[in-house]
């Protein structure tokens, strides 16, 4: 209890200190009014769509094996093919929309880094789902 009270007090003090010295903060970048759809953003969007499609396919492949189970998504969503497809499409659309909005507000490098990290994490899970151990039989 004492540690929680001390950490709450420290958080309040640091928040107040940040507000008190707000004049020292740099200005936010100006909104970007140029072309937002660039070849780089199109490649990243295509990468997100491809990684999400591969994620759907790898989850379906994982479900064909008796020893494999999805570790991140709920079973009700995973066992419903239309539900899983709708989830993957909506997450791909949300990722592309977030990239567009972050880039539009002047943070293009942050948008690019976010999409690369997101696609890399998805592809890592896909590689895990596609790992085939030959000692376990597959369902027909």
Residue 79: its pLDDT value, please? Answer: 87
d(CA 75, CA 9): 42
* Residue 88 and residue 55 in contact, taking contact as beta carbons nearer than 8 Å: yes
Residue 10: its pLDDT value, please? Answer: 58
- Longest CA–CA span in the chain (Å) reads 66
Tens-place pLDDT, residues 47-72: 999 999 988 888 888 788 777 767 77
Domain range summary for the chain, segments of one domain joined by +: 38-140
Tens-place pLDDT, residues 66-121: 777 677 788 888 888 899 999 999 999 999 998 888 888 878 888 889 889 988 88
pTM: 0.66
């Amino acid at each position: 209890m004492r540690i929680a009270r001390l950490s709450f007090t420290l958080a309040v003090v640091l928040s107040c200190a940040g507000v008190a010295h707000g004049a020292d903060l740099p200005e936010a970048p100006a909104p970007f009014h140029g072309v937002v759809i660039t070849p780089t953003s199109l490649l990243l969007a295509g990468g997100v769509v491809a990684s999400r499609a591969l994620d759907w396919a790898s989850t379906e492949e994982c479900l064909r094996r008796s020893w494999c189970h999805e570790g991140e998504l709920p079973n009700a969503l995973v066992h419903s093919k239309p539900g899983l497809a709708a989830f993957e499409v909506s997450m791909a659309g949300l990722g592309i929309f977030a990239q567009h909005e972050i880039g539009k507000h002047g943070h293009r490098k942050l948008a690019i880094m976010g999409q690369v990290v997101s696609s890399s994490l998805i592809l890592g899970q896909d590689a895990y789902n596609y790992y085939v151990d030959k000692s376990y039989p597959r369902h027909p």
